[in-house]
Amino acid sequence: MQRLFTIAFVLLLSVSARSQNFAFLNSKEAADACKIVAQGRRMQAIAMANSAMSLIPHARRHLHMQGLLPHKGIRDESETAARDFPAARNLAVGYCVTGNPDYRDHALRILNAWLSMYRPSYNPIDERVFIPLYLAADILRASFPEDTEAAWQAFNTDMAQNYLAQADSAASADNWQSERVRLATLAAFSTGDWGLIDHAQSAYTQQLSNNIRSNGTVADYTRHDALRAVVEDLDPLVMAALAAHNHGVNWYGIAASTGANLGMAIGWLAPYASGARSHQEYVNSEDSFDYARHNAGEPGFSGTWNPGSSAELFLMASALDRQWAQIATVLSPHPTLWQRMMLGMP
């Protein structure tokens, strides 16, 4: 009888998890978390929300930054417009801790402006800027008007389907593919469509096989000779695994057919992140655009790699595997409230 009860309970949890459409946490979990926020974090969240209240939405039909040097093409305008997304997230968190409807309404104003204006390019390097919007939507989902809910569902169904189609046909295993997996995963979980979610898991698993070598290095490290490129390969995969983890599904433990797994690649990077080893960036890069960015003075494209640039990666990884907690604590000693909510931290 006890065994039957245990099986039934596990099945109930599985059905419950599979019925929730959110990227990182559902609205009720967010509301419950906000009730027990420490005063210091609460005041920080309010200050960040207040700063975002003055933002006028910069919704555009198109964004493009990938492959552009500063002040070229529409890079500057796109970067300005992309500030809307962390602003919406900060407003949503402010609403969560205060119940102030002004914060909620302004976050929804930003979200609705983009849903009505933006036309996806399916360029994952450009569209990764939308990621902060997923936590904002998670927090506010219960208060979405019907038209916002319909538009958000349609947006994510479209994003998941198109990025999964790209992932299936992509010939490379670089950070573009990791970004496709991340965007498809967040979008799929946000729809609650487990056909899309299972497809995203397959794309994630295939990327492990194609991207991570037997010694833990990733594809882009060889091409770029840069730890920045390693972070850009792994950060999307860690976030995809975190989204799955928050739905009760263990992607972190998946081993690809090659034996590669996410922990193996994080472990390769760990000595650099801890400061035990160092690396001079892009010295032997095979990509001419890396040198163009170096010559343009873009930060991070020369000199010694800064371990702080992997702070969020190890913070997310620590929620999946406690062996990374020490590095995460050093790199992120004081996570923001939105980070703690995304990770499911108390």
Class of the CATH domain delimited by 20-343: mainly alpha
User: Is 225 a residue whose pLDDT tops 70?
Assistant: yes
Does the predicted TM-score (pTM) go above 0.75? yes
Q: What does the block give as tokens for 145?
A: 């008007």
User: Is 8 a residue whose pLDDT tops 60?
Assistant: no
Mean pLDDT throughout 302-313? 96
Give pLDDT, residue 294.
81
Is the Cβ–Cβ distance between 344 and 135 less than 8 Å? no
Cα 320 versus chain centre, distance: 14
Is the Cβ–Cβ distance between 180 and 173 less than 8 Å? no
Helices H / strands E in the chain, number of each: 18, 0
Other beta carbons less than 10 A from residue 215's beta carbon: 8
State pLDDT tens for residues 199-224.
999 999 999 999 999 899 998 998 99
For the chain, list the strands marked E by DSSP: none
State pLDDT tens for residues 244-259.
999 999 999 999 888 8
Residue 111 DSSP one-character state: H
pLDDT category at 15 given cuts 50, 70, 90 is very low
Mean pLDDT of the residues in the chain: 91
